[in-house]
Chain A
Amino acid sequence: DSGVTQTPKHLITATGQRVTLRCSPRSGDLSVYWYQQSLDQGLQFLIQYYNGEERAKGNILERFSAQQFPDLHSELNLSSLELGDSALYFCASSVGVAASSGANVLTFGAGSRLTVL
């Protein structure tokens, strides 16, 4: 157990629907990262939060949004789902976000597998 908890583990839904993926970071970690893993695109960075604030944004679609709450858990909201959104979504956490923390290791959760039919 990495200490990063993601729910649900599996999710099957239909096109056009909206889902929410949840992540609880490892105890003591303030930064949360979301990644999308698909067969053709590999592991793509979506977005990063630190202590409730958005800090970096990757190739995240406008249909996707995220937030980090005061208790540091994070949610990734995916709306108007398309077949191509089917993927494994990972959350990772790390201790900090200051420049000196660039060497910090990311700890990953087990992922949420989304299937859009």
Chain B
Amino acid sequence: AQSVAQPEDQVNVAEGNPLTVKCTYSVSGNPYLFWYVQYPNRGLQFLLKYITGDNLVKGSYGFEAEFNKSQTSFHLKKPSALVSDSALYFCAVRDPSRNSGNTPLVFGKGTRLSVIA
């Protein structure tokens, strides 16, 4: 079964510092990986995805993520954090070795990022 783990419930970082939100996954084949962000009282918004190709994926709002197959990780990064980046971040995985259109996107429990001015 596919699963994703976000080992940190909370990440605190000072504004202007680099940030990393960690994600590890478990699937039987090569994964489709996604990051979403949820601001207070809002739905989830898509940030970026990894399907194939370059291991470094760039997304919205200056975020990027690095796919590492050997470590089964897909950590979200940003070189310089903003206070407005404070939100709940979700990593998600889908196993394309199955009929992926019918395979639900499985989410981690989320990591709350707090950027302090």
Contact = CB atoms under 8 A, between A and B. Distances in A.
A5 B101 CA distance: 22
A55 interface: yes
Contacts of A105: 34, 46, 49
Given A43-B107, A103-B51, A56 B102 contact: yes
B110 A33 contact: no
Interface of A: 2, 4, 31, 33, 35, 42-43, 45, 48, 50, 55-56, 58, 90, 92, 96-103, 105-111
B45 interface: yes
Interface residues of B, number: 26
Interface of B: 32, 34, 36, 41-46, 49, 51, 90, 94, 96, 99-110
Contact of A108 (B32, B43, B109): B43
Contacts, number: 71
B90 A2 contact: no
Identify the interface centre among B46, B90, B96, B100: most chain A CB within 10 Å of its CB: B100
Nearest to A102: B100
B26 to A, nearest CB: 16
B101 A98 contact: yes
Contacts of A4: 43
B99 A99 contact: yes
Contacts of A108: 36, 43-45
Contacts of A110: 41-43
Contacts of A2: 43, 45
A33 B109 contact: no
Contacts of B36: 108
